[in-house]
Amino acid sequence: MVHGKKLVKETLLLSVLEDGDEETENEKLQLEEHKATRTEVGMRGPKDQHSNPDGNVLDRGEREGENEEEELGGEECVISDEDYDTDLELEGKGEPYDLTGRTCYMEACERLQVAPASYFLRHMQENELSMMYYGLGPQGTKALAVPLVTNTSILRLNLRDNWMEGMGGAAIAEMLKENCYITEVDLSDNNLGDHGARAIAGMLKENGTLVSLNLSGNHFTDLSAKHLGPALITNTKLRHLDLSYNALGEHAGQILGDSLSENTGLRSLSLAWNSIRGFGAVILANGLGGNIFLRTVDLSYNGFGKDGATALGEALKENNILEELNVSNNRIPPEGAIRLAMGLKMGRNPIQSAGCYGILKSIQENPDSAMEALNFADITVNQDFEDLYTAVKEIFPALTVNHGGRIGTFSKAKA
C-alpha cells in the first residue's frame, strides 16, 4: 500500500506549507511540481507513535501491477490501518532514509524560496533549539516547521522575535498538532495577531504534550481571547502560559475569567501589561477565586483599580492554593488595598501606609494565614504600621515585610 502512505506524507507536508486561508499561485505551481516529482516526506505512524523524519527524493520507478492514478487534492483517499506503517518502506533504488530531516528542510526552503538557516541544520538534533532574532519571517517559519513535524530530538523550542506573523504562527501550530515531543515553546514578539491566536487555540485543543507556552508581545486583542478561552478549558496539560504585553482588554478579562474557573491544568499565568479593567477585571478575579490549581498569577500593569482589587480580595478568601499574586501598578487606592488580604508584590501603588496597615491587620486576624512575605516596595509606612508588624511577628515569626522606609526617620551622621 505504498501509494496510500505517499499520499499521507504529501498531505502532511502540504498542511504545513499551506496557509489556511491564503495560497499564492506560485505555491500552487510548486505543489503541482511536488506531485510530479513524487517526493517522499516523513509521516506519522499510528496514534501516539512517530516515524523518523524523511526527506529523500525517490525515483518514480515503475512497479509491476500498480496503477498510477493518485490525484493530489482530488477525491478523498481512504487509507487502511496498515498504511500507517512506522517502518517507512522505500521504493525505486532503496536509498537510506534521512534520519535528520535535513533533506526535507532543504526541499521546503527551495519550494518556499527562502535561504536555509545554517544554525538550524547544525542544531536540529539537539534537545533545545533556540533561534531568537533570526528574522525567519512567515515563509522561513513555514519551512522550519516541515522537518519539525517528525523531529524527535527537540524538546524545547525558542523562536522569539522572528516576525513570523499569523501565517508562520499557523504553520508552527499545525506542526505542534503532530509533534508529541516538544514540551516548551516560546513564540513571543512575533506579531502573531488574532489570526495566529486562532491557530494556536486550535492546536491547544489537540496537543497533549505542551507544558509551557510563551505568547507575550503578539498584538493579541479581545478577539484572540475569544479563541483562546475555550482552548484553555479543553487543554489540561499546559502548565505555564504567558500572555503579557498584549492588547487584551475588558472583554478579554471576562472571557479568560470564565475559562480560568474551569481550567484544571495551568499552574502559572501572566497577564501583565494588558488593559484588563472594569467589569473584565472583576470577572477575571472571580475566575481566579474558583480556580484551585493556579499557584502564580501576574496581573501587574493593568487597570484593576478599586473594584478589581475588591473582587480579588473576595476571591482570595475562597482560594487557599494561590501562592503568588502580583498586582503592581494597577491604580489600587487605599480602600481597595485593604480588601486584599493576601496581596503580594504590591509596590508602586498609591495604597499609602493605611493600605499597608490594613493588609497586615487582616493577616493578624487570620490565624491560618500561609503568608510568608509582603512587598510594599517604595511605600513609606508610619509608626503604627511598625508597631503592628512587631505584634504580627510574634504570631507569624517567618513573615517578612519589605517597604520603602518609615515616615519621619532620618539617618544620623556618625560622630
Q: Which residues have C-beta within 8 Å of that of residue 357, sequence separation ≥ 6? A: 381, 382, 384, 385, 388
Question: Looking at residue 94, what is its pLDDT?
Answer: 45
Question: Looking at residue 224, what is its pLDDT?
Answer: 98
C-alpha cell at 236: 489540561
Is residue 7 situated within a structural domain?
no
Top pLDDT among 7 and 100 is at: 100
**Residue 341: band (very low, low, confident or very high) from pLDDT cuts 50, 70, 90:** low
Is residue 98 situated within a structural domain?
no
Question: Looking at residue 209, what is its pLDDT?
Answer: 97
* pLDDT of 48 over the 70 cut: no
Can you tell me the mean pLDDT for 297-311? 93
123: containing domain = 112-403
For residue 177, the tally of other CB atoms under 10 A from its CB is 17
Q: Are 299 and 276 in contact (CB under 8 A)?
A: yes
- Say how far apart CA 306 and CA 286 lie, in whole Å: 15
How confident is the model over 86-97, as pLDDT tens digits?
A: 232 333 444 456
Is residue 5 situated within a structural domain?
no
- Say how far apart CA 325 and CA 272 lie, in whole Å: 11
Is residue 409 situated within a structural domain?
no
Is residue 268 situated within a structural domain?
yes
Top pLDDT among 194 and 321 is at: 194
**The CATH number of the domain where 212 resides is what?**
3.80.10.10
Q: Which of 147-151, 308-312, 336-340 is least confident?
A: 336-340
Is residue 51 situated within a structural domain?
no
Burial of 413 (0-12, 13-18, 19+ CB in 10 A): exposed
Q: Which of 5-19, 43-57, 164-178 is least confident?
A: 43-57
Choose the most confident range, by mean pLDDT, from 34-38, 204-208, 364-368. 204-208
**Residue 231: band (very low, low, confident or very high) from pLDDT cuts 50, 70, 90:** very high
Question: Looking at residue 11, what is its pLDDT?
Answer: 54
Detail the DSSP E strand segments found in 26-78.
none
Question: Looking at residue 347, what is its pLDDT?
Answer: 58
Question: Looking at residue 92, what is its pLDDT?
Answer: 40
Question: Looking at residue 105, what is its pLDDT?
Answer: 96
Can you tell me the mean pLDDT for 354-362? 80
How confident is the model over 108-122, as pLDDT tens digits?
A: 999 999 999 999 999
Is residue 178 situated within a structural domain?
yes
Q: Which of 132-146, 204-218, 241-255, 377-391 is least confident?
A: 377-391
How confident is the model over 287-299, as pLDDT tens digits?
A: 999 999 999 999 9
Q: CA–CA distance from 407 to each of 251, 254, 360 (Å)?
A: 41, 40, 17
Question: Looking at residue 351, what is its pLDDT?
Answer: 67
Question: Looking at residue 18, what is its pLDDT?
Answer: 57
* pLDDT of 226 over the 80 cut: yes
Question: Looking at residue 81, what is its pLDDT?
Answer: 38
Can you tell me the mean pLDDT for 264-274? 97
Question: Looking at residue 408, what is its pLDDT?
Answer: 62
Structural domain total, the chain? 1
Is residue 233 situated within a structural domain?
yes
DSSP letter (8 states) at residue 52 = P
Q: Are 100 and 125 in contact (CB under 8 A)?
A: yes
Question: Looking at residue 28, what is its pLDDT?
Answer: 42
- Say how far apart CA 384 and CA 355 lie, in whole Å: 12
User: Which residues in 318-331 are b (16+ Cβ under 10 Å) and which e?
Assistant: ebeebeebbbbbbe
How confident is the model over 8-43, as pLDDT tens digits?
A: 444 555 555 555 444 444 444 444 444 444 334 333
Q: What is the pTM of this model?
A: 0.68
* pLDDT of 49 over the 60 cut: no
Q: Which of 107-116, 205-214, 323-332, 337-346 is least confident?
A: 337-346
